[in-house]
Amino acid sequence: MTSLETYFKNSQPLDQYIEVMTENKENVLSIYNSFSLPLNDDRIEKIKSLNYSKVLVITEDWCGDAMMNIPILKHISEALNLEVRVFHRDENTDLIDQYLTNGTARSIPIFVFLNDNFEQETVWGPRARQVQHFVEDTRSDVPSKDDPTFEDKSAEAHKIMTNRYKTDSQLWKYVYDSILDKLIIK
């Protein structure tokens, strides 16, 4: 099995990944520029004393959750001086298969927080709990796949979620709090 160190070293630096994005670059940059870390958050100082130095992000450019979560992670990583690299999930599913959501889904993004020795300290993703509730509520009216209205209802729900992800600063705060809480609790 490939080591986390090998995956990390063979992945793109975060800024390079954002630079070459083709689907969600504008939205990632917009969220990054619109979000700022809360002032005087004691958790940041506490986390600085912990054993984190790197983040391996498993994602894809087309992912709406990644579009919202990566800009928040970028701010956090800058505050904590963490090196962030991006691994493309679809290029090799061996890595994501180690981080399946609910044991079955290759959901992204997944943030694998590593120490100096490339050992996993904790994992976050793909969504903050409150964002998951929002997604479930939004998708609650989508019928089963065999229903003739499935495609239209699914597309409508996706549009609602994407628009909120791009504009709702409360969702961004939920992501921020969720990541920091995970780093503290491990």
- Give the chain's mean pLDDT: 96
Phi, psi of 102 (to 5 degrees): 55, 25
DSSP category for residue 106 = -
> Which residue has tokens 């100096």?
116
| pTM for this model (two decimals) | 0.95
The better pLDDT of the pair 14, 186 is held by 14
Residue 123 in this model has a pLDDT that exceeds 80:
yes
In this prediction, residue 61 carries a pLDDT of: 96
Count of C-beta atoms within a 10 Å radius of residue 11: 20
In this prediction, residue 2 carries a pLDDT of: 81
CB 153 within 8 A of CB 141: yes
Radius of gyration over every alpha carbon of the chain, rounded to an integer in angstroms? 17
pLDDT in tens, 135-186: 999 999 999 999 999 999 999 999 999 999 999 999 999 999 999 999 998 7
Question: Model confidence at 1, in pLDDT bands (50, 70, 90)?
Answer: low
Provide CB contacts within 8 A for 121, sequence distance 6+. Answer: 50, 51, 52, 113, 114, 115, 186
CA distance 84 to 55: 5
In this prediction, residue 4 carries a pLDDT of: 95
pLDDT in tens, 101-111: 988 899 999 99
CB 16 within 8 A of CB 90: no
Task: Give the residue extent of every domain in the chain.
Answer: 4-127+172-184
Give kind and range of the element (H or E) at residue 83.
Answer: strand 83-88
Give one DSSP letter per residue of 118-186, joined into a string: S-EEEEE-S--HHHHHHHHHHHTT---TTSTTHHHHHHHHHHHHHHHHHH-HHHHHHHHHHHHHHHHH-
For 87-125, letters b (16+ CB in 10 Å) and e give bbbeeeeebbebbeeeeeebbbbbbbbbeeebeebbebb
Given this structure, which CATH class describes domain 4-127+172-184?
A: alpha beta
91-116 mean pLDDT: 94
Written as one letter, the residue type at 81 is: N
Residue 74 in this model has a pLDDT that exceeds 80:
yes
